[in-house]
Structure 1
């Protein structure tokens, strides 16, 4: 092979590599734009979640200052994030409290109090969910 032929082959490879690099840069630009959009959406959703939780907590506690206390707020937080209703023992576990009978009964008493104040519902015996008008 002579030198001009080798140089032509190198030039062809260089052109091919340049085209590939240009395509990749375009893809990077497109992906960066899409990533920025999705990250913005995630930030908006996080803000929305925080706002809704604050509004829900204010609504739950506006009528009764007792429910504003930390244990009740912790229970509300667990039930807000739960996909379905929970039992007192499950709430104890979610709060990191030992599920001994003493603690489970204390949690159940708080849950029943919240049902009486229409913050929670107990559609099925022992299974507590947020009241529908408050979700």
Structure 2
């Protein structure tokens, strides 16, 4: 290999390296802009929390009477009309099973795709709420059953 060919290879390598450096620089700038936006939103939320906290101290009676507006839940809950309907659907699935069920099984029985994380997490969240309310029991991690059926399932 002569000097001319070595220099040509070095030029090619340098050009490729410059192109990659430019690409990475553009990506770093894009990420920097995203980070700046995230920090700005965080700052806005912190300010909002501080203002609400100050209002709660200054006007405790007014804050205590503020109504909480429920946010509709997407998917099965929205199809059922509200969280209460969704809760009834989840309880009905567990009752139909007659045995402990995994969250993904409940999701599938509700007609949703158990491979979609948000479906699984929504049902898992509801099951955990029902556990806290004493309507559902988690007999082992990830296995849920109706609270009355828990004693027969575990014993």
Alignment TM-score, normalising by the size of structure 1: 0.47
Alignment TM-score, normalising by the size of structure 2: 0.41
Structure with higher Rg: it is 1
Larger helix percent:
1
- Which has the higher relative contact order, 1 or 2, with Cα contacts under 8 A spaced 6 or more apart? 1
